Amino acid sequence: TRQGVDDLPHYTNVVMPWPDLEPPQTPAKNPTGLYRTEIELPQSWLKRDVVVHLGAAESVAVLWCNGHFVGMGKDSRLPSEFDLTPFANAGINQIAVMVIRYSDATWIEDQDHWWHGGIHRSCFIEARGRTRVDDLSVTGDYSPTQSRGSLNVTARAIGQAATLRVSIETAGGRNVAQATCPFVAFDHSSLLGELIAAHHHKGPIAQLSFGNLKVKPWSPEDPNRYRVITELLGPNSNVVEVHSTWTGFRRVEIKDRRLLINGVPTIIHGVNRHDHHPQTGKVVSTNEIRAELIMMKRHNINAVRTAHYPNHHSLLDLCDELGLYVIDEANVESHARLESLTNDPRYFNAVVERTRRMVARDKNHPCIIGWSLGNESGLGPCHDAAAAWVRAVDPSRFVHYEGAVHPRFGDIGDRTAAVQAAPSGQERLVTDVVCPMYPSIDTIVGWARWAERTQADDRPMLLCEFSHSMGNSNGSLDGYVNAFYDEPALAGGFVWDWRDQGLDETAENGKHYWAFGGHFGDEPNDANFCINGLVGPDLTAHPALREYQWLSRPVVASHLGGRKIKVTNRRQFTPTDDLKLRWTASCHGKLSAAGVLDVSVAPGKSKNVTLPAAAFKQPLTHLDIQFKQRRSNAVAERGHVVAWDQFLVTPAPNRAATQSPQRSRGRKEIHLELNDAGIASLAADATTLVSGDITGCLWRPPTDNDGIKQGWMAEVGRHAPRWRAQGLDTLHSVLDDVAETSRKGVRTITLHRRLVGNNAEATHITKICLEATYARFDERIELPEDWQDLPRVGVRFEMPEQFGNLQWLGLGPDETYPDRHSGATHGLWNSLVADQYHPYVVPQEHGSHHQTSWFELTNNAGGGARVTSPDGSMAFAARYHHDAAVTKARTIADLETAPSVEVHIDAAMRGLGTAICGPDALPAYRIAKSTHRWRWLLEAF
Task: Clarify whether 376 is annotated catalytic.
Answer: yes
- Report yes or no: 512 and 547 within 8 Å, Cβ to Cβ: no
User: Which residues make Cβ contacts (< 8 Å) with residue 329, sequence separation at least 6?
Assistant: 305, 306, 307, 308, 309, 310, 358, 372, 373, 374, 375
- Report yes or no: 305 and 464 within 8 Å, Cβ to Cβ: yes
| Nearest in space to 326 (alpha carbons), one of 286, 384, 365, 280 | 365
Amino acid occupying residue 646: Q
- Residue from 241, 465, 761, 845 carrying the catalytic annotation: 465
Instruction: Annotate 69-97 with three-state secondary structure.
Output: EEEEECCCCCCEEEECCCCCCCEEEEEEE
The DSSP annotation for 526-552 comes to -TTTT---SB-TT-PBPHHHHHHHHHT
User: Which residues make Cβ contacts (< 8 Å) with residue 937, sequence separation at least 6?
Assistant: 658, 774, 775, 776, 777, 867, 868, 869, 870
CB atoms within 10 A of CB 28: 7
Task: Clarify whether 465 is annotated catalytic.
Answer: yes
C-alpha 788/C-alpha 907 separation (Å) is 15
Counting every residue written for the chain, the total comes to 941
Which residues partner with 682 through β-bridges? 672, 690
C-alpha 258/C-alpha 458 separation (Å) is 8
- Report yes or no: 643 and 556 within 8 Å, Cβ to Cβ: yes
Helical axes 477-486 vs 441-454, angle rounded to 10° = 10
Phi/psi-derived region of residue 110, left when phi > 0, alpha when psi is between -120 and 50, beta in every other case: beta
The DSSP annotation for 803-843 comes to --EEEEEEEESS--BTTB-TT-EEEEEEEEGGGG----SS-
Alpha carbon distance, N-terminus to C-terminus of the chain: 57
C-alpha 489/C-alpha 256 separation (Å) is 8
3-state secondary structure of 420: coil
- Residue from 376, 402, 487, 845 carrying the catalytic annotation: 376
User: Which residues make Cβ contacts (< 8 Å) with residue 323, sequence separation at least 6?
Assistant: 218, 219, 220, 221, 222, 223, 297, 302, 367
C-alpha 151/C-alpha 211 separation (Å) is 7
**Secondary structure percentages of the chain, helix, strand, coil, to 5:** 20, 40, 40
- Report yes or no: 151 and 247 within 8 Å, Cβ to Cβ: yes
| Nearest in space to 633 (alpha carbons), one of 267, 868, 258, 323 | 323
3-state secondary structure of 673: strand
| Nearest in space to 165 (alpha carbons), one of 97, 95, 243 | 243
| Nearest in space to 469 (alpha carbons), one of 490, 494, 440, 505 | 494
Helix H or strand E encompassing 293: helix 286-298
3-state secondary structure of 178: strand
C-alpha 798/C-alpha 784 separation (Å) is 27
Helix H or strand E encompassing 208: strand 205-213
User: Which residues make Cβ contacts (< 8 Å) with residue 739, sequence separation at least 6?
Assistant: 749, 750, 752
| Nearest in space to 678 (alpha carbons), one of 784, 754, 776, 769 | 754
The DSSP annotation for 871-935 comes to TS-EEEEEESS-HHHHHH-SSTTTPPPPSEEEEEEEEEE-----GGGSPPPPGGGS---SEEEEE
User: Which residues make Cβ contacts (< 8 Å) with residue 238, sequence separation at least 6?
Assistant: none
Active site residues: 376, 465
